[in-house]
């Protein structure tokens, strides 16, 4: 267990963990606005990767235009999802809305399977393929890109929520919808915006990971699960806890794969997760909630 | 059991279940019915947990799978009688449910969902990786058909009646439970844990009880499943299967035992009918799920109940004229 391999596992864990974190961020944003866990979140991540592959390959665009187009299309899908399936049933039971999001995720998967097929696809890396050596660990440039872009998204969101009027309005909705409504915030629009942002963030997570891990129509399920695990681990409702939770799960998995066995890497991550939940039910960064009777 | 309505519903169910094979044209439909019935046993159990006690489990397929594998391995590799195998499977599932439920049921809502989900995934991964024991991803073959005291349930018709009577027993137990002291305690826990606690209900013990009971039903279903198909593979017991069970319970209607039965029948048979659309199958499945939930918030059982009320209202009014 030398420094080089520890560093290697750490970097690959952070790389995959970034996508988990961005997925978890998407979950959190929708949860805060609607109290619903959006099971289609993983499909946004999948759509980001698959559409980028499609635009880059079939339409013969370069990597960057394809990525941009994929991310904007997925954002549009998020908006359509809210308009067509969530807004008409406003005020319905949360459990029912969760089942609707499961339906949407099956639907999206079906559409992608129909038009893009069941094959596994890859995307060329954004810049450079030459691995850099760093204290005995080999780091591919895409990893650095992933970490950079994730940082950028986090900083962007932070500014959005703290500095802009829309961001503050969304925060207000997550605290108390009725009060937000009373001060003139359009709660409907904020919910739509939350779907747009979480689709955007999710698809970015999907698209940056695709050059490393390949993609297919069904990767959304597992990525969605990991993202959900990450936001519970970080303390549900706390966006930056969610991102940190994603990184932790990524690193746990990577060390599990490296030092225990790659077959049991997911089991290892989930066992740790269960232990943490049993010890601290509100998640690592979550406040223990005080229930009002 | 309480309530004339329940007894009437039960009588109708028994008549319909007994008569079903006579009106269906082929063996193929009977096999769909058998699988629906097996799934319904698990869903009715899950509904007790979800609809009545208000606790979620996203890992219920694990209990289904643990029992299916235990019974399969004991009967095939160690020559146990099938009934003994199934009973061992149920016991093991109950013990596992007890051990995992102890810490997990202290968690609330989504944390509980995560804990059970994680548990389900861990079991799934072990089923895939312990290849010498379970056969790994390619599955476990050569499981004997269900037999008892020398009678083999070789024909699908016989197996159908076995499953239908097991389901009937499960339904009777559930109806009895709901209208008992324990059932009322569970409903109280659902509406407010604190209020229930103040009333002197041992919240944790009741939650654990219903969790283990629902795992036992799932395990019974798992045993019947393994000895029907004579083949089990981990893919039937993964996250997707757990999610499917939840969807069936909610889509069927959480507020009644019958919801679970209707949900299981509907969602098990629907893919068979959608199969003719081939590539559109998944899309249609998703679409139907979305539309049902948007337009029937009370689930299929609620929707059917409303329809029945509407029809009888029309008839009644017409009768008055």
Tens of pLDDT, residue by residue over B196-211, are 888 888 899 999 999 9
Instruction: Give residue-wise pLDDT tens across range A199-208.
Output: 999 999 999 9
pLDDT of residue B158: 87
> What mean pLDDT comes out for the span A146-156?
92
Mean pLDDT of the B101-106 span: 91
Q: Which of the pair, A41 or B145, is modelled with greater confidence?
A: A41
Q: Are B269 and B36 in contact (CB under 8 A)?
A: yes
CATH number of the domain at A9-279, please? 1.10.3470
Contact B297 A96 (CB under 8 A): yes
- pLDDT at residue B37 greater than cutoff 70: yes
**Alpha-carbon distance A237 to A200, whole Å?**
18
Secondary structure letter of residue A216 according to DSSP = -
Higher pLDDT, B296 or B25: B296
> CB contact, 8 Å: B108 with chain A?
yes
Note the pLDDT of residue B293.
84
Q: For residue B231, give the 3-state DSSP assignment.
A: strand
Is 0.90 surpassed by the pTM of this model? no
Residue A142 sits at the vertex; the CA angle it makes with A138 and A145, to the nearest 5 degrees, is 120
Tens-digit pLDDT profile for residues B184-199: 998 898 888 888 888 8
**Which 8-state DSSP code applies to residue B294?**
H
Gap between the Cα atoms of B143 and A133, Å rounded: 54
Please state, in angstroms and rounded to a whole number, the distance separating the CA atoms of residues A179 and A202. Answer: 29
How many residues in total does chain B contain? 321
Of B121, B129, B243, the CB nearest to A102: B243
Instruction: Count structural domains, chain B.
Output: 1
The tens digit of pLDDT for each residue in A30-40 reads 998 888 889 89
Confidence of residue B222 (pLDDT cuts 50, 70, 90): very high
Chain A residues in contact with B104 by the CB 8 A cut-off are: 278
Residue B93: predicted pLDDT: 96
Residue A61 confidence (pLDDT): 79
- Mean of pLDDT values over A174-195: 88
Per the CB < 8 A criterion, the answer to whether A53 and A262 are in contact is no
Average pLDDT, chain A: 87
Cβ-based contacts under 8 A for chains A and B: 120
- Tell me: pLDDT of A252 over 80: yes
ipTM of the shown complex: 0.84
Q: Does A151 have pLDDT greater than 60? A: yes
Q: State the nearest Cα–Cα gap between A18 and chain B, in angstroms.
A: 20
Give residue A222's pLDDT band: very low, low, confident or very high (50, 70, 90). confident
* Residue B20 counted as domain residue: no
**CATH number where B84 lies:** 1.10.3470
Nearest alpha carbon to residue B125 among B229, B70, B244, B117: B117
pLDDT band at A1, cuts 50/70/90?
low
Q: What six digits make up the tokens of B90?
A: 């149920």
Does B143 map to a domain? Answer: yes
| Mean pLDDT of the region B110-134 | 89
How far, in Å, CA of A242 to CA of B209, rounded?
A: 33
Q: A278: pLDDT confidence band, cut at 50, 70 and 90?
A: confident
CB contact under 8 A, B297 and A106: no
Contact residues on chain B for A232, CB-CB shorter than 8 A: 110-111, 114
Torsion angles phi and psi, residue B141, rounded to 5: -115, 170
Separation CA A276–CA A268 (nearest Å)? 13
Interface mutation target, options B278, B293, B303, chain A, most CBs of A under 10 Å = B293
- Asked, for residue B308, whether it belongs to a domain, the answer is yes
| pLDDT > 80? residue B19 | yes
Chain B residues touching residue A111 (CB < 8 angstroms): 283
The pLDDT score that the predictor gives to residue B90 is 96
Residue B12 lies in a domain: no
List the domain range (segments joined by +) for residue B168.
28-320
In a domain, B6, yes or no: no
**pLDDT at position B98 over 60:** yes
pLDDT for residue B321: 42
CB-side neighbour CA atoms (13 Å) of A223: 36
> Residue B10: its pLDDT value, please?
86
Rounded to whole angstroms, the Cα distance separating B82 from B65 reads: 16
């Amino acid at each position: 267990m030398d420094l080089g391999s520890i560093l290697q596992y750490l970097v690959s864990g952070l790389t995959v963990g970034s996508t988990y974190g961005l997925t978890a961020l998407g979950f959190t944003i929708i949860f805060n606005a609607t109290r619903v866990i959006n099971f289609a979140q993983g499909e946004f991540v999948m759509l980001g990767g698959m559409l980028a592959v499609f635009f880059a390959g079939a339409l013969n665009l370069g990597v960057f235009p394809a990525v941009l187009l994929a991310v904007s299309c997925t954002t549009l899908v998020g908006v359509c999802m809210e308009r067509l399936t969530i807004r008409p049933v406003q005020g319905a039971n949360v459990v029912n809305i969760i089942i609707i999001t499961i339906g949407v995720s099956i639907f999206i998967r079906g559409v992608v399977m129909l038009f893009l097929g069941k094959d596994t696809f890859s995307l060329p890396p954004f810049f450079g393929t030459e691995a850099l050596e760093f204290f005995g660990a080999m780091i591919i440039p895409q990893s650095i890109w992933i970490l950079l872009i994730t940082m950028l998204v986090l900083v962007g969101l932070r500014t959005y929520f703290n500095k802009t009027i829309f961001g503050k309005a969304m925060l207000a909705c997550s605290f108390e919808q009725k009060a937000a409504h009373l001060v003139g915030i359009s709660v409907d629009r904020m919910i739509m915006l939350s779907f747009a942002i979480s689709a955007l963030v999710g698809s970015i997570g999907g698209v940056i990971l695709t050059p490393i891990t390949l993609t297919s129509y069904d990767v959304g399920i597992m990525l969605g699960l990991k993202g959900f695990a990450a936001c519970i681990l970080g303390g549900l409702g706390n966006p930056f806890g969610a991102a940190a939770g994603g990184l932790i799960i990524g690193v746990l998995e990577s060390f599990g794969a490296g030092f225990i066995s790659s077959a049991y890497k997911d089991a290892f991550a989930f066992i740790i997760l269960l232990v943490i939940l049993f010890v601290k039910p509100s998640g690592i960064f979550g406040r223990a909630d005080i229930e009002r009777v | 059991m309480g309530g004339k309505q329940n007894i009437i519903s039960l009588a109708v169910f028994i008549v319909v279940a007994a008569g079903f094979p006579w009106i269906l044209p082929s063996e193929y439909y009977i096999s769909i019915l058998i699988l629906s019935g097996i799934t319904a046993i698990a869903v009715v159990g899950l509904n007790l947990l979800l609809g009545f006690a208000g606790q979620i489990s996203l890992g219920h397929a694990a209990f289904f799978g643990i029992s299916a594998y235990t019974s399969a391995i004991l009967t095939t590799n160690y020559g146990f009688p099938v009934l003994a195998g199934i009973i061992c499977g149920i016991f093991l599932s109950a013990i596992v449910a007890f051990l995992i439920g102890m810490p997990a049921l202290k968690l609330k809502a989504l944390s509980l969902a995560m804990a059970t989900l994680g548990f389900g995934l861990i079991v799934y991964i072990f089923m895939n990786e312990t290849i010498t024991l379970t056969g790994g991803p390619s599955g476990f073959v050569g499981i004997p058909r269900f037999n008892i005291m020398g009678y083999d349930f070789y024909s699908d018709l016989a197996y159908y009646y076995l499953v239908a009577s097991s389901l009937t027993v499960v339904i009777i137990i559930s109806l009895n439970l709901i209208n008992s002291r324990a059932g009322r305690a569970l409903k109280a826990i659902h509406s407010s844990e604190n209020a229930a606690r103040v009333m002197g209900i041992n919240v944790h013990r009741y939650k654990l009880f219903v969790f283990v009971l629902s795992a036992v039903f799932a395990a019974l279903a798992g045993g019947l499943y393994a000895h029907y198909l004579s083949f089990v593979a981990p893919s039937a017991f993964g996250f997707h299967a757990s999610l499917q069970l939840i969807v069936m319970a909610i889509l069927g209607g959480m507020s009644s035992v019958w919801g679970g039965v209707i949900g299981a029948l509907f969602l098990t048979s629907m893919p068979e009918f959608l199969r003719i659309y081939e590539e559109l199958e998944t899309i249609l499945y998703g679409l139907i799920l979305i539309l049902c939930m948007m337009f029937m918030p009370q689930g299929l059982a609620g929707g059917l109940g409303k329809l029945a009320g509407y029809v009888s209202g029309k008839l009644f009014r017409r009768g008055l004229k």
